[in-house]
């Protein structure tokens, strides 16, 4: 991280700030959640939705935060203003458990907000392959929360993809249908219609994805949420991702199939950044 500020225990601190002690429940039993928002070019879209999802995730792992959405948003804006105007930033509200044996003590919920520099990825796109690792089901993991415990599975999918020379990976669910990219949601276009995996509890129905779908519908595109098989994905006219890190980015090669940047993905990106421009940091 080139530069970072952290709000913790009532104050802002710069650099790598120690947060969690050796006896914290989160250290050995993983009771930690986070969310990610973005600021770029002087804009910070959907901060309130990311703050709300962080609170929701905390409650889903058994914590009971005292912070409110508007308080988190106000702190995020404070943090953004500590950087030169227009800096590309990642905004990460976090909650974790301090106390409890196995089950976290709800009253031990602890909060921090980290804001750090993170350049936006190239809009030229990324390559992806099929992962041998799958997304867990709601019966096997806390898939309805943005829980840190889920990310070792993400990391091994990415490592596998990178070792094969790809940037990212497509993960299937336990039924063998397409779920998402390892790090973002997935959409594809076929004959001018946008298709995306139906939310089935194995992946988060992302904030950026929901926003992009809304914008595309308003622009006249048909959106179909359904089960998608791997052969269907491989036959798509175009494939693109939505997520906080890159917002809307094309998958330009899927396994050995060249896709390039398609017109619907380009339009989705254009619409999203136009939407973002209406939400200045303030």
What does CATH list as the number for 4-117? Answer: 3.30.470.10
* Residues in CB range of 248: below 8 A, 6 or more apart: 208, 212, 240, 241, 242, 265, 268, 269, 272
Report pLDDT for 129: 98
Q: How confident is the model at residue 127 (pLDDT cuts 50, 70, 90)?
A: very high
Q: What is the pLDDT of residues 130-144, one digit of tens each?
A: 999 999 999 999 999
- Tell me: domain 126-276, CATH 3.20.10.10, correct? yes
Q: What is the pLDDT of residues 164-207, one digit of tens each?
A: 999 999 999 999 999 999 999 999 999 999 999 999 999 999 99
pLDDT at 1 over 80: no
Provide mean pLDDT across the span 29-50: 97
Report pLDDT for 177: 98
Report pLDDT for 282: 82
In the chain, CATH 3.30.470.10 sits at 4-117
pTM of the model: 0.96
Provide mean pLDDT across the span 207-215: 98
Report pLDDT for 2: 61
State how far the Cα of 245 lies from the Cα of 91, in Å rounded to an integer.
10
Percent of the chain predicted with pLDDT > 90 = 99
β-strand partners of 253? 127, 258
Provide mean pLDDT across the span 69-78: 98
In the chain, CATH 3.20.10.10 sits at 126-276
Q: What is the pLDDT of residues 4-20, one digit of tens each?
A: 999 999 999 999 999 99
């Amino acid at each position: 991280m080139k530069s970072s500020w952290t709000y913790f225990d009532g104050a802002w601190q710069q650099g790598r700030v120690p947060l969690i002690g050796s006896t914290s429940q989160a250290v050995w039993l993983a009771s930690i959640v986070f969310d990610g928002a973005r600021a770029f070019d002087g804009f910070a879209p959907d901060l309130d939705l990311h703050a709300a999802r962080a609170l929701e995730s905390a409650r889903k792992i058994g914590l009971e935060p005292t912070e409110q959405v508007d308080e988190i948003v106000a702190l995020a804006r404070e943090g953004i203003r500590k950087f030169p105007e227009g800096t590309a930033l990642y905004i990460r509200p976090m909650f974790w458990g301090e106390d409890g044996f196995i089950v976290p003590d709800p009253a031990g919920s602890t909060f921090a907000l980290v804001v750090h520099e993170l350049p936006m990825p190239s809009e030229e796109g990324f390559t992806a392959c099929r992962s041998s690792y799958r997304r867990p089901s709601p019966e096997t993991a806390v898939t309805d929360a943005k829980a840190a415990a889920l990310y070792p599975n993400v990391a091994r999918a990415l490592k596998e993809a990178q070792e094969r020379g790809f940037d990212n990976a497509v993960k299937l669910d336990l039924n063998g249908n397409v779920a998402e990219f390892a790090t973002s949601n997935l959409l594809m276009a076929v004959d001018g219609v946008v298709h995306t995996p139906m939310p089935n509890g194995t992946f988060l129905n992302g904030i950026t994805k929901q926003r992009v779908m809304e914008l595309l519908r308003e622009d006249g595109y048909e959106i179909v949420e359904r089960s998608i098989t791997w052969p269907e994905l491989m036959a798509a006219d175009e494939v693109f991702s939505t997520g906080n890190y890159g917002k809307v980015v094309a998958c330009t090669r899927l396994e050995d199939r060249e896709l390039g940047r398609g017109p619907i993905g380009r339009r989705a990106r254009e619409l999203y950044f136009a939407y973002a421009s209406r939400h200045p940091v303030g």
